[in-house]
């Protein structure tokens, strides 16, 4: 595999496309693997990479029903943050943040991680209090957080609506180390790095069944035939319930649709990530100049991967009430992804009640930022057949023991993030 560097870039520029070799192989599936990962999104690919890198397990296949990165990994709005209140979430996302900070070097692939800050806006005294509490909790966990007053927000994002807003801006909670990354590059970078360590990434290979002997997995039925596996890791986001059903299990999860939007390219106008606290809207600007934004779920169970119009109107209304200066900007594209909405708003990474079967899912709105950390702890869980201390609180059992991780304190509703 070519090592990417300034020299390979210059060579490629001078010698034309022929200088580049494919970034990963297209292998035929083997009869059996030590570990089969279902789903070649960021999480599945990261898991495979860390299985090889951290645990020396390389007889691994990642099976993907479509093309790698074609699921939510390639559909998300790329916000990376670790500004969580509860320990169980904070430790996972902060570990992930630390991996992000060195990811481009580690993978030898530029994932365009940009720590431009994530700013949550507050629109009432009560919300300022809640942000102060969350900020303090973050700092106690060693995570950066700054509470800004109204003038602090104005200095950062001067063209927010400070004049006649229906929900005036009181201040905001800033995580300076938060930001964005290039979503496709994350999938491609992990794929290339996993492949170079001998892992087989098999695209156009849909898993249709899970074979068991007694209570132990023996392999997967796929659209390309049976593939034996000692261990199976599920990382299929919105399709988690379907995979679990293949093993006769139900999950505390519903699949819902989330849309994302991209505007025409503009000159630099927003140099951070802004989230609205009175309605649901979040926005950043891509390096190409497009505004990348999103808001609420469509609001009903859906596997459709395409959204409905009421939410388009709703998200844009919310955005314009915050940034009236963007009212003439044209929308370029919008699309949808199928979200694995867990019942407490937090992910599930751990063992399932079938020997050799593991789940990584329930990511709700926020799994992209978890990609490296999630793959890292999931690889540990699969390699050792037990969770790492970081993902112990994220077990499936928490729904039975009562130790749910409900950031919003809002009860069992599959709509949190």
Ligand X SMILES: Cc1cc2nc3c(=O)[nH]c(=O)nc-3n(C[C@H](O)[C@H](O)[C@H](O)COP(=O)(O)OP(=O)(O)OC[C@H]3O[C@@H](n4cnc5c(N)ncnc54)[C@H](O)[C@@H]3O)c2cc1C
- Looking at beta carbons only, is 67 or 303 nearer to another protein? 303
Distance CA(368)–CA(414), nearest Å, equals 18
Q: Are 201 and 62 in contact (CB under 8 A)?
A: yes
Element (DSSP H or E) covering residue 34:
strand 32-38
Of 250, 288, 328, 330, the one binding another protein by CB under 8 A: 250
Asked if 414 is part of the footprint of ligand X (rule: CB under 6 A), the reply reads no
Q: Are 202 and 63 in contact (CB under 8 A)?
A: yes
Distance CA(297)–CA(345), nearest Å, equals 13
Q: Are 121 and 277 in contact (CB under 8 A)?
A: yes
Q: Are 169 and 160 in contact (CB under 8 A)?
A: yes
Interface region with ligand X, contact rule CB under 6 A, candidates 9-17, 76-84, 99-107, 159-167:
76-84
The distance of closest approach from Cβ of residue 208 to another protein in the complex, given in angstroms and rounded to an integer, is 13
Interface region with ligand X, contact rule CB under 6 A, candidates 72-80, 163-171, 262-270, 402-410:
72-80
DSSP state letter for 355: B
The distance of closest approach from Cβ of residue 143 to ligand X in the complex, given in angstroms and rounded to an integer, is 16
Residue 263 contact, options ligand X, another protein, none, Cβ 5-8 Å cut-off depending on partner type: none
Distance CA(88)–CA(187), nearest Å, equals 25
Asked if 381 is part of the footprint of ligand X (rule: CB under 6 A), the reply reads no
Q: Are 75 and 337 in contact (CB under 8 A)?
A: yes
Asked if 134 is part of the footprint of ligand X (rule: CB under 6 A), the reply reads no
Of 162, 226, 335, 399, the one binding another protein by CB under 8 A: 399
Give the angle 354-358-361 at the CA atoms, nearest 5°: 125
Distance from the first to the final alpha carbon of the chain: 39
Asked if 304 is part of the footprint of another protein (rule: CB under 8 A), the reply reads yes
C-alpha distances in angstroms, 132 versus 40, 86, 96, 146?
38, 14, 23, 9
Of 141, 259, 302, 374, the one binding another protein by CB under 8 A: 302
Residues between 314 and 343 that touch ligand X (CB under 6 A): 337, 339
The distance of closest approach from Cβ of residue 78 to ligand X in the complex, given in angstroms and rounded to an integer, is 5
Residues between 166 and 225 that touch another protein (CB under 8 A): none
The distance of closest approach from Cβ of residue 145 to ligand X in the complex, given in angstroms and rounded to an integer, is 18
Asked if 259 is part of the footprint of another protein (rule: CB under 8 A), the reply reads no
- Looking at beta carbons only, is 4 or 172 nearer to ligand X? 172
- Candidates 133, 138, 168; CA nearest to 153 is 168
- Looking at beta carbons only, is 205 or 243 nearer to another protein? 243
Can you point out the beta strands (E) in 287-382? 290-301, 331-342, 348-351, 357-361
Distance CA(34)–CA(227), nearest Å, equals 11
Asked if 20 is part of the footprint of another protein (rule: CB under 8 A), the reply reads no
The distance of closest approach from Cβ of residue 387 to another protein in the complex, given in angstroms and rounded to an integer, is 20
Pull the structure tokens for residue 387.
Answer: 């969770």
Asked if 241 is part of the footprint of another protein (rule: CB under 8 A), the reply reads yes
- Looking at beta carbons only, is 127 or 255 nearer to another protein? 255
Q: Which residues pair with 33 in a beta bridge?
A: 229
Q: What are the residues binding another protein (CB under 8 A)?
A: 239, 241-242, 245, 250-255, 299-304, 308, 310, 343, 399-400, 412, 414
Residues of the shown chain interacting with ligand X in the complex, contacts defined by CB under 6 A: 38-44, 63-66, 70-73, 75-79, 206-207, 235-237, 239, 258-260, 294, 337, 339, 363, 365-369
């Amino acid at each position: 595999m070519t090592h990417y560097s300034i020299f390979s870039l210059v060579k490629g520029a001078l010698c034309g496309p022929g200088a580049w070799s494919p970034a990963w192989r297209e292998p035929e599936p083997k009869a059996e693997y030590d570990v089969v990962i279902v789903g070649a999104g960021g999480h599945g690919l990261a898991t495979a990479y860390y299985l090889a890198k951290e645990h020396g397990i390389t007889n691994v296949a990642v099976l993907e029903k479509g093309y790698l990165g074609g699921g939510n990994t390639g559909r998300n709005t790329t916000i990376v943050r670790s500004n969580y209140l509860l320990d169980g979430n904070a430790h996972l996302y902060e570990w992930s943040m630390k991996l992000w900070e060195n990811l481009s070097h580690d993978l030898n692939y530029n994932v365009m991680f940009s720590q431009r800050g994530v700013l949550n806006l507050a629109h009432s005294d009560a919300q300022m209090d809640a942000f102060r509490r969350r900020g303090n909790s973050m700092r106690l966990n060693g995570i950066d957080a700054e509470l800004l007053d109204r003038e602090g927000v104005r200095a950062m994002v001067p063209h927010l609506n400070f004049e006649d807003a229906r929900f005036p801006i009181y201040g905001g909670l800033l995580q300076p180390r938060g930001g964005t990354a290039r979503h496709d590059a994350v999938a491609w970078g992990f794929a290339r790095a996993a492949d170079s360590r001998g892992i087989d990434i098999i695209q156009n290979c849909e898993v249709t069944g899970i074979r068991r002997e007694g209570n132990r997995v023996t392999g997967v039925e796929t659209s390309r035939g049976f593939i034996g596996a000692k261990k199976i890791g599920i990382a299929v986001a919105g399709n988690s319930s379907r995979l679990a059903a293949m093993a006769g299990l139900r999950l505390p999860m519903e699949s819902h649709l989330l849309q994302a939007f991209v505007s025409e390219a503009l000159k630099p106008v927003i140099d951070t990530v802004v989230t609205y606290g009175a309605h649901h809207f979040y926005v950043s600007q891509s390096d190409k100049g497009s505004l990348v934004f999103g808001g609420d779920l469509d609001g009903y169970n859906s596997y459709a991967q395409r959204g409905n119009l009421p939410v388009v109107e709703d998200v844009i209304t919310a955005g314009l009430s915050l940034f009236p200066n963007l009212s003439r900007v044209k929308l370029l594209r919008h699309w949808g992804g199928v979200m694995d909405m867990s019942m407490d708003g937090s992910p599930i990474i751990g063992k399932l009640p079938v020997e050799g079967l593991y789940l990584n899912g329930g990511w709700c709105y926020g799994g992209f930022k978890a990609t490296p950390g999630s793959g890292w702890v999931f690889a540990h869980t699969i390699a050792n057949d037990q969770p790492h201390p970081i993902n112990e609180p994220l077990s499936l059992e928490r729904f039975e023991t009562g130790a749910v991780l409900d950031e919003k304190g809002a009860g069992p509703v599959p709509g949190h993030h």
